[in-house]
Amino acid sequence: MNRVRLVNSQGSAISNGEGSLGQENAAGSISGISWRTLMRMSFIAITAGVALGSVFAPAGFAEDDSQKNKLGEIMERGDRFIQLSEPNCQKPPLLLIHGATDDPTEMMAIAREWKNDYNVFLYSYNYHKRVEKIAADFVAQLRRLKANGLRGDATVIAFSYGAIVFREAVILAPDSRLFAGDRLIQLVPTAGGSFFARGMENPLASFVISAASKPSAAVNPYGAIAKQVWDGEGNQKFYSVIDSKRMQTILVEGDANSVSRIKDEKIQRRYKNGIGENVIIVPKSAGVSHEYFPVEPVGLEYLRKIMQSPNMRVNAEKDRRLTVR
C-alpha cells in the first residue's frame, strides 16, 4: 500500500516535496513521446468518453446528441462552467478547474467518480489568455450560477495551473461571500510559480517571454503575478476568505516542476503560502506524474481518501441538507 505523509508547511518533508505546472507547458518542446505517455493519452480519451456517456462512440451509438454537445462546449474552452450532472441536480456543488491544457477532459475521471454525489461543474477555460481575465470570468460565471439557484458551499478541486486561476478569482472577487465556506483541494498546484520558468528572473527574458506567453507570465516565480497571488495582501485576502483548515493539497514527491528547489527566501515563502498547512505527499515510488495526476488511478485514490475523510463527509452532508430545503 502506498504510504501517505501528512506534514505542515514548516515540516522538513515539505521543503523536499514538489508540485507545479506541467513541464510540457513551461519548458519548450518534448523530444519524443514514450509508450507510457501514449497509453496515458489514450486513457484520458477513454475516461472522458465514459464520463460523458460514451461521447466518443461511433456515429449512431452515442446515447444522445446532448452529450456530444456538452463535449463540444468543454472543448471550446470558453471560460465558463459546464454542468456535468443532471440539469436539475440539487446536490452540493463540486467545481473542477483543469490545468494549463488545450484538453480540459483531463478532469473527467474525477467528474465521473463524484457526479452522483455532487452537482459537478467543470470550469473550461483558454489558458492562453491572461490569468486575470480567466479569473474574472470565473467570478462572473459563479455569480451567475448562484443567482440562478446554485446553493451550498462548494468543494473546489483545482489541478496544477488551475490553482492560480482559483486563487486569483478569490482575490479579485469584490464580494468575499461568493467563496465563503468553500472547501479547496489542490492537486499538484503551481504554488509560487513553476521551476521551469526560473529563467525569467532575468528582466529582459521575463519581458520577452511574458509578451509571447500569458501562462508563462503567470507561473514566473519572480514575476508580479506570483507576488500578487502568493504573497502580501493577496495572500492575506485569500486566507481571510478560504479557511486554511478547509484546504488540502496533494503533492508528488520528486515533481520536477516545483519551485521548492529554488533557494530564494521569498519564493520559498510564496510556495509555502500556496500549499497551505494540510499537505499529503505521494511518494515517488507510486509512479504518479504531475502531468497526468487527474487520470492516474493512484492519484485518484489519494483524492478519494480526502473526499471520504470525516471532515469532508461531515461538511458535505451539512451542505446536502441545506440544498434540499
The full set of domains in the chain, from first to last, is 5-323 (3.40.50.1820)
Amino acid at 191: A
pLDDT at 313: 56
pLDDT at 64: 63
Q: What is the pTM of this model?
A: 0.80
* Alpha carbons 166 and 139: distance in angstroms, whole number: 9
Note whether 99 and 21 are within 8 A (CB).
yes
* Vertex 49 angle, CA 23 and 106, to 5°: 20
pLDDT at 122: 98
pLDDT at 128: 96
pLDDT in tens, 166-193: 999 999 999 999 999 999 999 999 999 9
Whole-angstrom Cα Rg for the chain: 19
* Alpha carbons 128 and 287: distance in angstroms, whole number: 29
pLDDT at 2 over 80: no
pLDDT in tens, 236-258: 999 999 999 999 999 999 999 99
Q: Output the CA torsion 2→294→216→27 (10° steps).
A: 60
What is the share, in percent, of the chain residues with pLDDT greater than 70?
75
